[in-house]
Amino acid sequence: MDIDLDEMEEKKKMAVSMCICKQCPSFMECGESIGYCFPTIGKSNCIKDEKGCICGSCPVTTQLGLKHDYYCTRGSEKEQSEK
Model pTM greater than 0.85? yes
Model confidence at 2, pLDDT cuts 50, 70, 90, reads low
Whether residue 35 is contained in a domain is answered as yes
**pLDDT value at 3 more than 70:** no
Cα–Cα distance for residue pair 43/45, rounded to 1 Å: 7
pLDDT at 4: 84
Domain contains 5: no
7 found inside a domain: no
Residue 8 within any structural domain of the chain: no
What does DSSP assign to residue 23? G
**Does the pLDDT value for residue 1 go beyond 60?**
no
> For the chain, how many structural domains are there in total?
1
- Residue 6 lies inside a defined structural domain of this protein: no
Residue range of the domain that includes 58: 18-81
Q: Is 66 a member of any domain?
A: yes
CA–CA separation, 83 and 81 (whole Å)? 6
